[in-house]
Structures are given as C-alpha cells and as structure tokens.
Amino acid sequence: MNPEQLKPQIHAWIAALTSLKQLIEYRNSLVGKKGTLTEMLKNVASLSPEEKKTLGKSLNELRADVEAELAKKEKEIREQELKTAENRFIDMTVPAKSHGRTQHPIKIVQSDIIDIVTRMGFSVWRSPTVTTEFDNFDALNIPSWHPARDMQDTFWLTDRRVLATQTSCMQNHLLRTQPKPLRAMVLGSVYRNEKIDATHDIAFEQVEGLVVDKNINIGHLKGTITTILTELFGYEPRFRMRPGYFPFVEPGMEVDLWWGSSASDGTASSGKGRWLEFMGCGLVHPNVLRQADIDPEEYSGFAFGFGLTRLAMIRYGISDIRLFHENKIEFLEQFTV
C-alpha cells in the first residue's frame, strides 16, 4: 500500500484524540519502538534497492508528517487542559490541606504570644543567656543576704555572673533605657539547677510582661493576663490567682492554670486534672523602680512572668516536660503549622 494513502486516515485519527493519555498511546502504537510505522520502516531493509528507495522515502515522509501532526495535537490538548483547570470551580469551604510543615510546639506558642502582645502595643525583647548578679537579683530587690536567692537554684559562673534564672533579669535594663509609659514583653531561655521531673526542667522558656505608667493597679494586671490567655487558648481558660511572694513585686501573686481538663472549653473539671503553677506576678515593687531612678510616687507598674514551656504543656495536653528536649520525631511531627 502506498503510504500516502494512509495519511488521511491517520490525520482523522489524530484529530479525534481528546486527551494526552490517548495521544501518547496512539503515538506509541504508530511511531513507538514497536509501532506500526516503525515496523514498516524496519521491513524496508529486506526489499529490492528500487523499492527501498521509493517506499523508504515515502514512509520516512509519512513518519515526519505524523510526528508533526501529533506535536500540533499535543499542544492543542495541553492548552485545552490548562483552560479547563483555570475555569475549575474552587470550593473555598473545603478545609485547606495542611502543608505539613512541622514546628516545635514551643516555637508555635512563642510566635502566637508575639503576635498577641504586639497587637496590644508591647515591644518585644529577648533576655540574655548570661547575665549579671545585679540584674538577676540585686536590681530586683534581692540583695546577696536575702533568703529569696534560694528560691531559684542558680548556675553561677566563676566571675559572679549567672545563667539567667528568670526573664525578670531584663526589668532593670528596660526601666532604665525605655521611655515611660512602658509596655514591654521579654522572651528568653532560663536555667535553674533543679531536679528534673515531669513539670520541671533545668532549661526552660519564660515570658515576662512589664508595664509602667501612672496609676497602675491590679485590675490592669488581671485584665492583661486574661486577654493574653484568652487569645492564646481561643477561650478564657480556667485560672486562679492567689497570694505569692516575689521580692520584686508588692503585692505579689501566683496564677495557676487548670491542667488536664477534658472539657473542650476548659471550664469544667474532668476530675482528672490539677492546678499547675504557671505564673508569678504583681505590682512592681517601689525599690525596683528606685533602682532604675524612677520615682515610685509618680509611676507605678505591674509585672508578670510565666513558663512558656508549661503553657505549651497545658495547651497541647503534654504530660511530661522532658518530651520537649527529647527530639523524638513521633512527638515533633504532631505539631504542624
């Protein structure tokens, strides 16, 4: 058969193709390794020189024509598929698939806090790893003879500097250097020579809030804590305030959060939970203001400090603080953003 006669038939087949899948299959069946045209070309080798010349030439021409026709069709189909995809209806109500980027739970809580407090007008700071005895204790109304130094088991360096035991070590610096009124938030890693158990680690994350203005009272403190916690949890979590002693606040209080409640709104006790000490706070002690050359008659303030690590435990129902540092992939993979 004259290959020229095959042409219209092949063109008709190509024109009828509607998908890339069909096109690839058809291309293979024709000009693929074992395709019809390929086989015909192979057979030319056994023909007489005369036939070889004419048939070989027209078969090669047919092959080139078919390839060009297929390429044209392929372009057409691809363009059509793109258009269909563009016009496809996108249902915005279908929940987005998580893109699966995992992030450490402490990091997630930290970013959330920064987001919340910057909206509330706080500046955000980071406390140093190594600080001075003065900033960590003396400036906070804890002189060297004060028994309150024993409240925090401290890692001392040989030159009387310390590994920061609390983000409060930034208070004096902020009070001295920042203009009043002041609203500052400090994030930082702190270190204590403690016995490790399910709720105590030797290195953990703290967050400090420090506000100084005129006529500050406990209502401002409670309102700020309530707002931050409500924003963090998405509902007002169950917490209680009770008297607590810290030499750098007067009056001083501690805040406990309910830990382990199975109620989704965090209000009802499942009977299985317990109170977890979460935060120290109070009105800034006049001596702390005086240390920074601020007149306590003119300015007052409140401060609070909480364990970011404990917050993450409560928020995610994590039962053991040691999990944060174990680097177990099964644990970490549960937290995606």
Rule CB under 6 A: is residue 277 a binding residue for ligand FA5? yes
Nearer to ligand FA5, 3 or 273 (CB): 273
Amino acid at 46: S
313 binds ligand FA5 (CB under 6 A): no
Q: Nearer to ligand FA5 by C-beta: 57 or 322?
A: 322
Report if residue 250 touches ligand FA5, rule: CB under 6 A. no
Least CB distance from residue 276 to ligand FA5, whole Å?
8
Residue 307 sits in the site that holds ligand FA5 (CB under 6 A): yes
* DSSP classification of residue 285: P
End-to-end C-alpha distance for the chain, whole angstroms: 66
Q: Nearer Cβ to ligand FA5, position 70 or 201?
A: 201
- Confirm or reject binding of residue 279 to ligand FA5 (CB under 6 A): yes
Q: Is 239 in the site for ligand FA5 (CB under 6 A)?
A: no
Report, in Å, the least distance between residue 90 CB and ligand FA5. Answer: 45
Quick check: 111 and 105 in contact, CB under 8 A? no
Residue 310: φ, ψ to 5°: -65, -35
Contact (Cβ atoms closer than 8 angstroms) between residue 266 and residue 238: yes
Does position 303 bind ligand FA5 by CB under 6 A? yes
Name every residue whose Cβ is closer than 8 Å to that of residue 112 and which is 6 or more positions away in sequence: 231, 232
Q: What are the tokens at 101?
A: 């980027």
Q: How far is the CB of 183 from ligand FA5 (least distance, A)?
A: 14
- Residue from 110, 131, 206, 224 binding ligand FA5 (CB under 6 A): 206
Report whether 108 contacts 216 (CB < 8 A). no
Distance CA(87)–CA(296), nearest Å, equals: 67
Residue placing its CB nearer to ligand FA5 in the complex, 13 or 245? 245
With beta carbons less than 8 A apart as the criterion, state whether 289 and 310 touch.
no
Residue 285 found at the interface with ligand FA5 (CB under 6 A)? no
Among 26, 191, 204, 258, binds ligand FA5 (CB under 6 A): 204
| Degrees, nearest 5: CA angle 27-31-32 | 80
**Strands 182-191, 123-126: pairing kind:** parallel
Residues 139-178 interacting with ligand FA5 (rule: CB under 6 A) = 152, 166, 168
- List, as one string, the DSSP characters of 60-104: HHHHHHHHHHHHHHHHHHHHHHHHHHHHS---TTSPPPP---B--
Kindly state whether residue 305 participates in binding ligand FA5, applying the rule CB under 6 A: yes
Residue 291's H or E segment, with its range, is helix 286-291
Q: Minimum Å distance from CB 197 to ligand FA5? A: 9
> Residue 122: phi, psi to the nearest 5?
-85, 145
Q: Is 309 in the site for ligand FA5 (CB under 6 A)?
A: yes
**In the complex, what is the shortest distance from the CB of residue 287 to ligand FA5, in angstroms, rounded to a whole number?**
13
Does position 201 interact with ligand FA5 (CB under 6 A)? The reply is yes
3-state secondary structure of 151: helix
Q: Does 104 bind ligand FA5 (CB under 6 A)?
A: no
115 binds ligand FA5, rule: CB under 6 A: no
Distance CA 166, CA 130 (A): 11
- To ligand FA5, the closest distance from the beta carbon of 215 in angstroms equals 19
CB of 313 to ligand FA5, least distance (A): 9
Residue 278 interacts with ligand FA5 (CB under 6 A)? yes
Q: Which residues are near ligand FA5 by CB under 6 A? A: 152, 166, 168, 192, 194, 200-201, 204, 206, 208, 246, 249, 277-282, 303-307, 309-310, 321
